[in-house]
Structure 1
Amino acid sequence: MFIDSHCHLDFPDLAHNLDVLLDKMRENQVTHALCVSVNLTDFPRVLALAQAHDNLFASVGVHPDYENQVEPDAHQLVQLADHPKVIAIGETGLDYYRLQGDLEWQRARFRQHIRAARQCNKPLIIHTRSAADDTLRIMREEGADQVGGVMHCFTESWEVAKQAIDMNFYISFSGIVTFKNAVALKDVAKKTPLNRMLIETDSPYLAPVPYRGKLNQPAFVLHVAEEIARLRAVNLNEIAAATTANFFRLFKLPTLVG
């Protein structure tokens, strides 16, 4: 079986078609999915999805790309995370690609999320783009290794991956690893220890080959696993078993949940 460790089923492109998406998950043996929060305004609908379906889970956090938000403090995040279906803090992190100028507010927001994760003892979902050095520095300064988490939709170098792994983090691969030009990322997928690997879709974005350019969905995480199995020259079942076990371990879930 497979698990989509990062998707956005509450987004309008997917939410209107939820029953079909859940059926497609079952067809592709995708047994569970983590619906990830990007802002606090929409968090209630993320949590509602998780509450309505045994095989869906939620996180709580504010994405670094969302400007002009009421900045969450650690106490607020801890309160919102106090629910059995909320299994992570995030997504959080730094993104210097889409936004420019004085981004100290991003760094301050990131610190609040790490502090919240430490207080409630739930792992972090970290987004980093064009900001690896600062991301790793703040993770170290704030003690992110105490709770660990996942570097979601990983696109950085093997050196960055190694440093994250050393801080108790998992590396999650999305449909990008199936893209022909993602040569460096394919190398990271070969080198990442199987016991530190997750797979995801980040749907509705980044559909893998053979669906590249189309609307993504959790069922397509199968194709991410297939590409990693091909790269590592192992049986697909090995990738399925490892990434599933890793998901349950990281998020402190009983293995037969759902």
Structure 2
Amino acid sequence: MPLIDTHCHLDFPAFDADRAEVSRRARDRGVLNMVIPGVTAANWSGVLDICQQDSHQQDSCLKANGKLFPALGLHPLFVADHQPADIDRLRERLRQDRPIAIGEIGLDFAHPDKDPDAQRWYLAQQLALARAFKLPVLLHVRKAHDEVIQCLREADVPGGIAHAFNGSLQQAHAYIALGFKLGFGGMLTFERSRKLRHLARALPLEALVLETDAPDMTVASHQGQRNSPEYLPEVLAALAEVRGAEPDALASATTANARSVLGLTETDALKAHRN
């Protein structure tokens, strides 16, 4: 069963020297699809270009090797770089480029220097776009889960993924009730991540998806190094360990979960992104 990396910043400069090789190695390990989230208006074109270039490369092959899918959003940690006009730019991009989701968006109150009111404004505007365009959202949330959950209840968006989920079991079930899946990545591979491993064991399987957040939040075997989508099978192995389940069954379930929340069919996952 092919895997889907639901959150991978393959467009970041950390991959400039070997992006194509990283993508090839990931696919050789069964990671056929990756979702590439945008974080500022300035990097949307790069995200779209990488996904489009990858599609052309795959089309030139004799076999379908899977695809990259773009998401576009305004990340809360880059709030100082955003401009109100970026919301209009995002609206036009959604019409023109048809990304798979709006993201990476959310609230991050772990950094007191990031204007919380500005973060709230950009989140509200992007949730309104998600509702209007009927797109799922990719959430970045730190020290703000209850507030984000309330925003989602009011916004009535068509679900999405709470990326790198680190909240409580109660908060997890609140997201699930709103149609969200919960992303688990490299931190799950660390034995010291007791809270996270408990969540991965306790939550219903139908709520879980896999991610790397590459180049950040790497797996235990590559601690201190660049993370990569090729390491996603190690996240799968950690999930199998904590749940006492067969990796193949978990691969099948998490891939189906990702396809469901992102609106992908199996055929879509092997087709190029088209403008």
Q: Would the aligned equivalents of 1:36 and 1:46 in 2 still touch at CA under 8 Å?
A: yes
SS of equivalent residue, structure 1 residue 241 = helix
1:110-166, Cα deviation, whole Å (9 max, x unpaired)? 11111011111110001100111211121112223xx10000011111111110001
User: 1:196 — aligned with what?
Assistant: 207
1:250 aligns with 2:261: yes
1:70-89 paired onto structure 2 within 5 Å: 70-71=83-84, 75-83=88-96, 86-89=99-102
- The counterpart of 1:93, out of the listed 106, 109, 112, is 106
1:59 aligns with 2:71: yes
SS of equivalent residue, structure 2 residue 161 = strand
Distance of 1:227 and 1:218 partners within structure 2: 15
Q: Would the aligned equivalents of 2:137 and 2:161 in 1 still touch at CA under 8 Å?
A: yes
Q: Would the aligned equivalents of 1:73 and 1:112 in 2 still touch at CA under 8 Å?
A: no
Q: Would the aligned equivalents of 1:204 and 1:215 in 2 still touch at CA under 8 Å?
A: yes
Q: CA deviation at 1:71?
A: 2.8
1:227 aligns with 2:238: yes
Distance of 1:59 and 1:239 partners within structure 2: 25
Distance of 1:52 and 1:191 partners within structure 2: 40
Query: How much identity, in percent, do the aligned residues show?
Result: 30
User: 1:15 — aligned with what?
Assistant: 16
1:135 aligns with 2:162: no
Distance of 1:75 and 1:115 partners within structure 2: 12
Unaligned runs of 5+ in 1: none
Greater share of residues in helix = 2
Per the normalisation by structure 2, the TM-score is 0.89
Quote the RMSD (CA, aligned, Å): 1.6
User: Residues 84 and 252 of structure 1: is their aligned pair in 2 closer, same or farther, counting only changes over 3 Å?
Assistant: farther
Q: Would the aligned equivalents of 1:81 and 1:88 in 2 still touch at CA under 8 Å?
A: no
Distance of 2:114 and 2:156 partners within structure 1: 27
Distance of 2:115 and 2:255 partners within structure 1: 39
SS of equivalent residue, structure 1 residue 42 = helix
1:23-79, Cα deviation, whole Å (9 max, x unpaired)? 211221111101110101110010111112231010010100013221356554232
User: Residues 191 and 83 of structure 1: is their aligned pair in 2 closer, same or farther, counting only changes over 3 Å?
Assistant: farther
Distance of 1:72 and 1:120 partners within structure 2: 18
